[in-house]
């Protein structure tokens, strides 16, 4: 059975969410779309809450959140202690978010990151394990 990845955005990330859902399927994952469902203006914190609830319930293993810049939605997601949301802009930040920080939510900016870079971030984020070791203590201190 395919690993389920939750994905959500506000209006600023709606177009990129549509593209990344297809990319998830291409990579062999099952996207769980938590909205928003169109370009109408919505509030990004509401979608961070949906992501937090979905991961807490175990309905998906990891998630992707997108707003215009990726900033607001990553701040909102990180208010939940079981979320480690990382705003990534390129291959290296997406790789380190997993390898060093064991991030469980990838955040992207729909207005700041182009689709090809975003797809690369998605692929490396989902394909990289946590290094553990000295990083385990540090991540544990995050609460
Ligand atoms: C919405 O216009 C925009 O503020 C939002 O998508 C995001 O960039 C906030 O951080």
- pLDDT tens digits, one per residue of 28-78: 999 999 999 999 999 999 999 999 999 999 999 999 999 999 999 999 999
Say yes or no to pLDDT of 82 above 90: yes
- Ligand 1, atom 3, lies closest to the CA of 68
100 is catalytic: yes
107 is catalytic: no
Q: Give the distance (Å) from ligand 1 centre to CA of residue 75.
A: 11
pLDDT at residue 109 in the model:
98
- pLDDT tens digits, one per residue of 14-25: 999 999 999 999
Q: Give the distance (Å) from ligand 1 centre to CA of residue 135.
A: 31
pLDDT at residue 115 in the model:
98
Give the position, in ligand 1's atom list, of the atom nearest the Cα of 72: 10
Q: What percent of the chain has pLDDT over 90?
A: 99
Q: How much is the mean pLDDT over the chain? A: 98
The token duo for 57 is 């319930």
| DSSP symbols for the chain | -PPEEEEEE-GGGHHHHHHHHHHHHHTT-EEEE----SSS---HHHHHHHHHHHHHHTS-SEEEEEESSSHHHHHHHTTSTT--EEE--SHHHHHHHHHTT--SEEEEETTTS-HHHHHHHHHHHHH-----THHHHHHHTT-
Distance from first CA to last CA of the chain, Å, rounded? 31
Q: What would the mean pLDDT of 108-112 be, rounded to a whole number?
A: 98
Beta bridge partners of 31: 5
- Reported as a pLDDT band with limits 50, 70 and 90, residue 143 is confident
Q: Give the distance (Å) from ligand 1 centre to CA of residue 141.
A: 30
pLDDT at residue 31 in the model:
98
């Amino acid at each position: 059975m395919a690993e389920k990845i939750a994905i959500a955005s506000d209006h600023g990330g709606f177009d990129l969410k549509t593209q990344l859902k297809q990319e998830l399927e291409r990579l062999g994952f099952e996207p769980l779309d938590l909205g928003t469902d169109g370009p109408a203006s919505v509030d990004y914190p509401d979608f961070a809450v949906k992501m937090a609830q979905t991961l807490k319930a175990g309905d998906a293993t990891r998630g992707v959140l997108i707003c215009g810049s990726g900033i607001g939605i990553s701040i909102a997601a990180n208010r939940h202690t079981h979320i480690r949301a990382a705003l990534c802009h390129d291959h290296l930040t997406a790789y380190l978010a997993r390898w060093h920080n064991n991030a469980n939510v990838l955040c992207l900016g729909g207005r700041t990151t182009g689709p090809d870079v975003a797809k690369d971030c998605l692929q490396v984020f989902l394909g990289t394990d946590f290094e553990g070791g000295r990083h385990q203590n540090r991540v544990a201190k995050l609460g």
